[in-house]
Amino acid sequence: MPKKYQTGLMWFRRDLRAQDNAALFHALKACHRVFCVFVFDRDILDALPRADRRVEFIRESLLDLDGQLRGLGHENGVTDAGLLVLHDRASAALPALAARLAVDAVFANHDDEPQSLARDASVQARLEAQGVAFHSFKDHVIFERSEVLTLAGKPYSVFTPYKNAWLKKIDRFYLTPYPVEKYAAALASAAAEADRGIPTLQALGFEKTNLSALKIPIGSRGGATLLEDFLGRIAHYDEKRNFPAVKGPSYLGVHLRFGTVSIRALAAAALSQQQAGNAGAASWLSELVWRDFYAQILSNFPHAASQAFKPDYDAIAWEQGDKADTLFQAWCDGQTGYPLVDAAMAQINQTGYMHNRLRMVSASFLVKDLGIDWRRGERYFAEKLNDFDLSANNGGWQWAASTGCDAQPYFRIFNPVSQSEKFDADGSFIRKYLPVLAGLPASALHSPWLARPLDLAAAGVVLGENYPAPIVQHDEARALTLQRYAVVRKRDR
């Protein structure tokens, strides 16, 4: 089949891999030669703290991607196929690059976050004014937008029927990898281009973080290593996933976020093992379906990005003023006096990761113990999480706040002490992230304000000095929460 375009431009965004990449496949198949670019978008980067693990992860993963592209080119007789990298505002820089390279078409994968959709609309308009086509493709999820609908043709807002429809629809077609290698001879040599080379963090205006000390595997090779490790223990995922001190999760969140792994490869592996009777794989597949579910929620109900999915819940009167600010800061700093919550916040602050069970517990505590608007917590996680994804983060926070689709009922309020006793019974996780409490016996670790003075003294714990007393009483806070949610109580009956 003759190729449609002479020259194309592949624009990498949240899909930092050369293998099984939808847009790259279509670009190589449609064009005689294809340049590849990544833009460090100032519209995004300028709003970030100067030490941001995600920027460092992207930068290191681009080195890996550049090597992949060079390798594919070399195997097909193309010298110096590799990545062009810009540090500019993508909305203007991408069309300018397309003009300079005289490309006929730009290829990219979908990004359905509101800011990204606005950027892409701007880029497409500029490209079309230049006579350049813009093509985008599904790559970040298995099913997107309106691909899975109810019998009435409406988007799902409840997970279980969505999951059932998802499982009914899935087949080999949706899981087949894109054979990029088959068309890799179309990669263009970028040797003569001025934008070769990956800029340093310093050149981007950022500082090094503790990413390397955390030993987070980087790039496609790192993602493949994590997946191989997880598949060797996936059978135990269901029984271990709720315990933060245990190696239970896949730890692939950041790789899914930046596309250094293929969602098709992950879903195919999980589905295959589920069909073989693997309960752990079935549980993990459900988590991947949740990811698709929240992505289509954001696409079909964009108001949820900034408002309650259930509009009635915007009537809730959250705590305001200095008191709210003080409580919120204590939560951010891990100084609430509830060890599991504080250890969870220490984990996210120190590593950019938080165990999923703890995301639920800490979110519930902020909203339903402290009475703080869920959007404040959502923004904090957005700043701190290495794997921050707007749809999943928003969905998780609205679930915890009972404001979202298929959320926990407003009257379900996690008790931070019983959650601690159940999921960190021996205190291993708490001791790791709150060394000040490490000397307490397990019986006293989950609620140190109830500990015997002798145990506190032996452990060197002085409440109110080196570890805080509880900033709220859970039972009292629960009663206030039920009053706060009274404005929407009838809706949930």
Task: List the CATH number of the domain containing 96.
Answer: 3.40.50.620
The active-site residue out of 166, 284, 397, 399 is 397
What's the CATH code of the domain at 417? 1.10.579.10
199 falls within a domain = no
**The domain boundary residue, chosen from 138, 163, 191:** 138
317, two tokens: 């009167």
pLDDT computed for residue 196 by the predictor: 82
- 453 in the same domain as 411: yes
pLDDT computed for residue 400 by the predictor: 96
Quickly list H helices, 135-278: 159-169, 172-175, 201-204, 211-214, 219-231, 237-240, 253-258, 263-275
Active site residue 356: yes
DSSP code for 108: E
- 448 in the same domain as 320: yes
What is the tally of structural domains in the chain?
3
Percent of the chain at pLDDT exceeding 90 = 95
State pLDDT tens for residues 383-433. 999 999 999 999 999 999 999 998 788 888 999 999 999 999 999 999 999
State pLDDT tens for residues 139-194. 999 999 999 999 999 999 999 999 999 999 999 999 999 999 999 999 999 888 87
Residue 294, C-beta contacts closer than 8 angstroms, at least 6 positions apart: 391, 392, 394, 395, 396
**The domain boundary residue, chosen from 116, 138, 160:** 138
**The domain boundary residue, chosen from 273, 300, 327:** 300
207, amino acid identity: E
- 151 in the same domain as 125: no
191 falls within a domain = no
Using DSSP's 3-state secondary structure scheme, residue 178 falls into coil
203 falls within a domain = no
Active site residue 166: no
Does the pLDDT at position 491 exceed 80?
Answer: no
pLDDT computed for residue 186 by the predictor: 98
250, two tokens: 């896949």
- 277 in the same domain as 146: yes
Task: Share the mean pLDDT of the chain.
Answer: 96
Phi-psi region of 80 (alpha: psi -120 to 50; beta: other; left: phi over 0): left
State pLDDT tens for residues 88-130. 999 999 999 999 999 999 999 999 999 999 999 999 999 999 9
- 145 in the same domain as 130: no
Domain span holding position 273:
141-177+221-300
What's the CATH code of the domain at 279? 1.25.40.80
Active site residue 290: yes
- 95 in the same domain as 163: no
The active-site residue out of 11, 166, 374, 399 is 374
Taking alpha carbons only, the member of 337, 461, 322, 488 closest to residue 401 is: 488
State pLDDT tens for residues 35-68. 999 999 999 999 999 999 999 999 999 999 999 9
Active site residue 318: yes
102 falls within a domain = yes
- 318 in the same domain as 422: yes
209 falls within a domain = no
- 153 in the same domain as 131: no
| Average pLDDT for 328-354 | 98
The active-site residue out of 76, 242, 300, 356 is 356
- 251 in the same domain as 128: no
206 falls within a domain = no
23 falls within a domain = yes
322 falls within a domain = yes
- 52 in the same domain as 145: no
Angle between helices 114-129 and 90-101 (to 10 degrees): 30
Pairing of strands 5-12, 31-41: parallel
| Average pLDDT for 222-243 | 97
- 128 in the same domain as 145: no
- 377 in the same domain as 321: yes
The alpha-carbon radius of gyration of the chain (Å, integer) is 24
The active-site residue out of 181, 287, 319, 383 is 287
The active-site residue out of 144, 242, 318, 415 is 318
Q: Strand 83-88: give its sheet, edge to edge.
A: 83-88, 31-41, 5-12, 105-109, 133-137
The active-site residue out of 11, 290, 331, 399 is 290
Active site residue 449: no
pTM of the complete model: 0.96
* Burial label, 32 (beta-carbon count in 10 A; 0-12, 13-18, 19+): middle
Q: How many CA atoms lie within 13 A of 353 on its CB side?
A: 17
State pLDDT tens for residues 436-460. 999 999 999 999 999 999 999 999 9
